[in-house]
Amino acid sequence: MSEMRVVGVRVELPANQPILLLRETDGERYLPIWIGSVEATAIALEQQGVRPARPLTHDLLKDVIGALGRELEQVRITDLREGTFFAELVFDGDVRVSARPSDSVALALRVGVPIHAEDSVLQEAGLIIPDEQEDEVEKFREFLDSVSPEDFRGADT
């Protein structure tokens, strides 16, 4: 199992499909996961440190976990079947709950717990990006740091 870090979220064109991009902390493989736009927004907002006036779903879940006296210890991306990724939330006492990777990552960022991916998932779906493309990943990271949710709103007509 490899620890992963969130590089960011980007939109794959022309399908306009958001992709969550993770990278091995101590390796060179990237793991792209296609996710929904709501989860992509939740991840991007958390990475940018944006605090909404009212809790979003992942903020609420974090608060519920704390109110119940539980502790989320880690998130694991456990499987890839027929193009669908699977994950689990690992709580204190080795309690595990099945979850989508997008929701799991959004929650992990809010709680500050590690994200791991099974080696079998990385072997099947992991990518090694050549050095010349590494600059593009860094540019993408810089873009994420400079963008705000208001940038994605349509023009009023």
pLDDT tens string 34-72: 999 889 989 988 988 888 888 889 999 999 999 999 999
Token output for 85: 């990724």
Residue 131 CA to residue 136 CA, distance in Å, equals 9
**What is the average pLDDT value for the chain, to the nearest integer?**
86
- Measured from the Cβ of residue 114, the count of other Cβ atoms closer than 10 Å reads 14
pLDDT at res. 55: 84
The answer for residues whose C-beta is within 8 angstroms of residue 25's C-beta and 6 or more apart is: 2, 3, 4, 5
Stated pTM of the model: 0.79
* DSSP per-residue codes, 97-122: EEE-HHHHHHHHHHHT--EEE-HHHH
pLDDT in tens, 46-56: 988 888 888 88
More confident residue, 27 or 145: 27
Confidence of residue 157 (pLDDT cuts 50, 70, 90): very low
pLDDT digits (tens, 9 = 90+) for 92-125: 999 999 999 999 999 999 999 999 999 999 999 9
Question: How far is it, in rounded angstroms, from Cα 59 to Cα 51?
Answer: 10
Judge contact between 111 and 123, C-beta under 8 A: no
